[in-house]
Amino acid sequence: MSIQPSRGRAVGAACLLGCLALLAGCEPKAPAPPAPAAAAPAWPALVDEYIESFFKAHPQVAAAVGRHEFDGGLPDWSAAGIHAEVARLQAFRERVTAFPDASLDDAQRFEREYLLTRIDREIFWRDAADAPFRNPAFYLGMGDGGDSLDPSTYVVRPYATPEVRARAFIKYAASVVRVAPDIRKNLRTPMPATYIKLGVAGFGGLADFYRTSVPEAFKSITDPKLKADLNAAIEPAARALDGLAEWLKGEQPNATGPDPLGPERYAAMLHMTERVDVPLADLEAAGRADLARNLAALKEACAGYAPGTTLKRCTERVAAHKPAGGAVAGARAQLAGLRQFIIDKDIVTIPGPEQAEVEEAPPFNRQNGAYIDTPGPYEKNLPSVYYIAPPDPSWSAAEQAAYVPGEAHLRFTTAHEVWPGHFLQFMWANRVPSKLASLFVGYAYAEGWAHYGEELMWEKGLKADPETHIGQLSNALLRDARFLSSIGMHTKGMTVAESEALFRDQAFQDSGTARQQAARGTYDPGYLNYTLGKLMIRRLRTDYCEARGGESCWKAFHDKFLSYGGPPIPLVRKSMLPGDTHPVL
């Protein structure tokens, strides 16, 4: 899943100051549970208006969730267009805030808080964080899935005939040619070395994808004019993005160190995107406690698996047990067993018959080891695809071999992406009655649930042997290192090298992964949301099930939690535990 962004100085300052005032002590009103109820007509109309206006401003997102009348479009990424979008969002926020409370039922009050958070998320990245002007990740959909140049909707998803999708790609390619100069004008230099590397890989990888994968995807087309139009569209778009990649390569000698948010904007990010108002010192303490818990469990598991060896050698031994046929084949072999385990252990309801596919990640999107592409709520009968990235070919042979996950590690990555992770969670989200909840799934909710699901499978007895446990803990330690690196690099002066050492020495990741993950933290500060979300879900499960039978309540808890779609977890907590005063962590 992916980053976000922003700008608009005058609006941004007011927005950030208002958010920081909230962080200083103004508690938002607790939303009521989203129970089904007869809706007053005005509120649904306002929600629908927001969704439609959002799609108009973000046509690529609209197409990705299945609104194909927006096919081929990209946002107005000119500086003026970005500032106008911030102003539009601010104006809509005022309307939502001013909506008469007395005319809303309990479900609608919850939905109002949900919508306000989503608007704040868009404002934060575009304005307070200034990301369209600082961070190439804004244009590549990193973090939690914002705007993106990603053409996979047209090239990979079989939502229509190849002919229909090819025409959409042709329109998209023309949009790329239109927006590339705006991206070049927007991005300020000098910029951090990690941003440059991301931009070169992302923009250059897209150009390669156009030239190699697009013709292959549409090779069945026989209409000579359509084939000629497609071929004519590819090269200008590829050259436009090659130009961005080459420009960034030329900026490498001027590259700077990291560009941190700083403590105030970091706290604003947590509130505006996730409604988390935990002091940063307490947040860091929670992450360090989880790291210590997982390290203690790793020591115990290694004592049973490889007694007398160091933790590093123990984890290397587990990592050396590679899946038969490689990572893609290994993940395919794991899917059926994980799904059946969920059924046998009665862990959570599987709401439909859908299945996920597994493929190698395309060249333009290999900045993370694995991810899943799930069709949106407007699509019907389309596959979800779990992508696994091969090693960077520029790495040494030893680093490339080490990057391929071990069998046990891969099992929990597959649990994270598919069963019971993202794939299952989006099956639920696509069935939620609220279209807002189906469309806008938060970073901490989605990644928190997926990461929570890994540990849940171990807790319920999945292949209960030391090697399997080490695989689960390897994933957990990776996410702990992300959590601490995000806080460290953006609020405490941690360097990229220090982050890389944390991944390598305390999370026991191979050198390629450590380097990749440390870099990611510079341009995706929200990647703390994996562990943050998991910790909030685990605390909510404990508090919710304490008076409901303990572990026997877990399935009911899971079903209820997933029924919300994807709002900020603190809002879910206030709905599931009305009047609760416990902390979210």
Q: For 415-452, how does the pLDDT look when each residue is reduced to its tens digit (9 = 90+)? A: 999 999 999 999 999 999 999 999 999 999 999 999 99
Whether residue 463 is contained in a domain is answered as yes
Numbers of helices and strands, H then E, in the chain:
26, 3
- Checking if the pLDDT of 409 tops 60, the result is yes
- From CA 105, how far away is CA 238, in angstroms rounded? 51
Measured in whole angstroms, the distance separating CA 328 from the mean position of its chain's CA atoms is: 21
Average pLDDT, the chain: 92
**Are 336 and 277 within one domain?**
yes
**Are 175 and 322 within one domain?**
no
Whether residue 247 is contained in a domain is answered as yes
- Checking if the pLDDT of 11 tops 70, the result is no
**Are 214 and 286 within one domain?**
no
**Are 305 and 410 within one domain?**
yes
**Are 449 and 348 within one domain?**
yes
Whether residue 488 is contained in a domain is answered as yes
- From CA 22, how far away is CA 40, in angstroms rounded? 30
**Are 159 and 283 within one domain?**
no
What letter does residue 277 receive in the DSSP assignment? Answer: -
Please write the tens of the pLDDT for every residue from 525-537.
999 999 999 999 9
Whether residue 335 is contained in a domain is answered as yes
Total of domains in the chain: 2
**Are 234 and 285 within one domain?**
no
**Are 281 and 313 within one domain?**
yes
Tell me which residue range forms the domain holding 199: 151-191+193-255
Whether residue 80 is contained in a domain is answered as no
**Are 198 and 282 within one domain?**
no
Q: What confidence category does residue 369 fall into, taking pLDDT thresholds of 50, 70 and 90? A: confident
What letter does residue 19 receive in the DSSP assignment? Answer: H
- Checking if the pLDDT of 7 tops 50, the result is no
**Are 322 and 200 within one domain?**
no
**Are 509 and 420 within one domain?**
yes
Task: Please state the rounded mean pLDDT for residues 353-371.
Answer: 85
Whether residue 390 is contained in a domain is answered as no
**Which residues partner with 388 through β-bridges?**
360, 370
Please write the tens of the pLDDT for every residue from 241-255.
999 999 999 999 999
Whether residue 141 is contained in a domain is answered as no
Chosen domain end from 221, 255, 289: 255
Phi, psi angle pair for 157, to nearest 5°:
-80, 125
pTM (global) more than 0.85: yes
Q: How many other CB atoms sit within 10 Å of the CB of residue 30?
A: 17
pLDDT at residue 363, rounded to an integer:
74
Cβ-proximal residues to 293 (8 Å cutoff; 6+ apart), any chain: none
Q: Tell me how many degrees the CA angle 503-441-461 measures, rounded to the nearest 5.
A: 55
Whether residue 477 is contained in a domain is answered as yes
Structure tokens that stand for 313 in this block: 């050698």
Q: H helices of 422-465, where?
A: 422-429, 435-439, 443-459
pLDDT at residue 4, rounded to an integer:
33
The 8 Å CB, 24+ separation contacts for 65-71 are 65/375, 65/376, 65/377, 65/378, 65/379, 65/439, 66/159, 66/375, 66/376, 66/377, 66/378, 66/379, 66/380, 67/378, 68/159, 68/160, 68/168, 71/153, 71/154, 71/168, 71/171, 71/172
Look at 70-74, 179-183, 365-369 and tell me which has the smallest mean pLDDT. 365-369
**Are 446 and 566 within one domain?**
yes
Chosen domain end from 202, 230, 255: 255
Cβ-proximal residues to 225 (8 Å cutoff; 6+ apart), any chain: none
